């Protein structure tokens, strides 16, 4: 009754799928690069030129 010897046999396991490795690599690359592009796109240095310079005057109450 040596059940542990059967579970350590690696010939019973199917080989990993190539598409799963490709998908995992693609997800990892997106996880690493997408935040960098989002930060670069919405960084304050680019947003300053897009903001409008508007000044408002606040009316003071009369006594």
| 3-class DSSP assignment, residue 51 | coil
- Tokens standing for 32? 């690493």
Which is higher by pLDDT, 59 or 47? 59
Model confidence at 7: pLDDT above 70: no
CA distance 49 to 58: 25
10 pLDDT tier (thresholds 50, 70, 90): low
Q: Give the chain's radius of gyration (CA, Å).
A: 30
Q: What is the pLDDT of residues 16-48, one digit of tens each?
A: 788 999 999 999 999 999 999 999 998 887 555
**Rounded to the nearest 10 degrees, how much is the dihedral formed by the CA atoms of 9, 10, 12, 16?**
160
């Amino acid at each position: 009754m040596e059940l542990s010897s059967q579970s350590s046999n690696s010939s019973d396991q199917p080989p990993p799928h190539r598409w799963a490795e490709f998908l995992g690599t693609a997800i990892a690359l997106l996880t690493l690069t997408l935040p960098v592009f989002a930060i670069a796109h919405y960084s304050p240095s680019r947003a300053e030129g897009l903001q409008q310079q508007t000044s408002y005057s606040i009316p003071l109450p009369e006594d």
